[in-house]
Amino acid sequence: MEVFIKSGSPEKQRTACVVVGVFEPRRLSPAARDIDRATDGYLTKLLRRGDLEGRQGQFLMLHNLPNILPDRVLLVGMGKERDLDDKRYRETVEALVKHLDGTGSMEAVVYFPELHVKGREIEWKVRAATESGALALYRFDQYKSKAEKPRRPLRRLTFCVPRRSDLRDGQVAVDRGLAYANGVMEARDLANQPPNVATPAYLAERAGELAKEWNLGLTVLDEKQMEEEGMGAFLAVGKGSANPPRLMAMEYQGGVKGDKPYVLVGKGISFDSGGISIKPAAAMDEMKYDMCGAAGVFGIMRTIAELQLPINVVGVAAAAENLPDGQAYRPGDILTSMSGQTIEVINTDAEGRLVLADTLTWIQRYDPRVVIDMATLTGACLVALGKNAAGLMGNNDRLVRELMDAGDETGERGWQLPLWDDYQEQLKSNFADMKNVGGREAGTITAGCFLSKFTEDYEWAHVDIAGVAWKSGDDKSATGHPVRMISQYLVERAAG
């Protein structure tokens, strides 16, 4: 779908469909009032008859209205005007685009950016609408023998801004919104792949394709090279699988050569059975989503390359498959990490922190400005925060706050959890420098504490996306979280 920006009166648009809002109870938006005046009160009469109340989720398509150029006018219920916040605005745009796609409207001019959204300016409203509209059409059906496709799909969406002076900012917002959406879809496509396809080697191949497409540098470590680096914790996780682990680093240089890069690290467990500490069978198919952190890194790298941000960024994906066989690592094993610190394995289902530990040591060679890791790390995060926010921790409160602000801006919210030294006590081991789990209490926090032992030499933040990385049930699919959050953080850093 193509997205454009323009300004102008709704009644003068030569288009198949103009889209305007109606607030509850039966209150016309500014663009709807313009059409009402041009049609001698047609909309007012219609609303008086009770055809539309303006409740969120209502649609009414009107054909051949008098005295105006558009072929059709679509009235969209927006709910109460005072309740139009970020979430409702995004939801309404998403519902609108799905409705247009299903009704054969191949193009439309939408007057939502004129609406008042609490605390939001034109740029945000255009960007959010662009993202939501593009993502509303996302489908992952490449493995269906007969995929359902609309007969006349929506191909062109134009957002109208109130003034010509808004066009420049509006175009920037469209470009950014499309780049964010493309990054999210990249992450979703990778995470939705079946685990018999999306092995660590497959991720390395995709990294090569992305590097070629967007002119990125690329370093890939195989099993032998990881052994030479001393990555004993990382390698242990993949020992039970016939698909050997891979570490891949994609290097984007948009800033001055020699400037310290922002380094992103993603957990890429392509399938997590739990290993010897095997998981219950129910919903184990969803453990293909244990590589959503790595998928997020791929998506972010695509977004920043598309936006040509003037900064340096390295995106690192740590990929392994956690399966049980005669070679698999066991509870009770003691592993030596790349940092030299030793780890007593208590639970082989706490494998993500092991691959991240060695990766967070390995990336020190880049002399990073900051490091952000993202991982479906703990089920405890879902218990603590539900499906509405990622867990944020780090050794630098400013960095964590900036990520929280970026999450608020993009709708991919995060919430800070404490990383106090008190919690480190739970990781003490009788036989090694630390255990890989700290027990049931504060599971998300002790996982962050574990990672903190490998990040003392740089500013670091950890994003636990276990509760937000995918949806279950009838809508089962990866979400692409936190591509937009971290892309927004990088956009803001690039802007100075």
Is residue 171 within a helix (H) or strand (E), and if so which, with residue range? helix 167-192
Residue 185 buriedness (CB in 10 A; 0-12 / 13-18 / 19+): buried
Q: Which of 37, 279, 401, 471 is catalytic?
A: 279
| Residue 125 designated active-site | no
Q: Which of 188, 267, 302, 353 is catalytic?
A: 353
Residue 400 buriedness (CB in 10 A; 0-12 / 13-18 / 19+): buried
Task: Report the half-sphere exposure of 231 (CA within 13 A, side-chain side).
Answer: 31
Taking the C-alpha atoms of residue 183 and residue 304, their distance in angstroms, rounded to an integer, is 9
Q: Give helix 483-494 / helix 397-410 axis angle, nearest 10°.
A: 110
**Strand 72-77 to strand 18-23: parallel, antiparallel, or no bridges (unpaired)?**
parallel
Cα 328 to chain centroid, rounded: 32
| Residue 279 designated active-site | yes
Question: How does DSSP assign 96-134, residue by residue?
Answer: HHHHHHHTT--EEEE--TTS--TT--HHHHHHHHHHHHH
Closest CA to 376 of 455, 337, 336, 322: 322
Active site residues: 279, 353
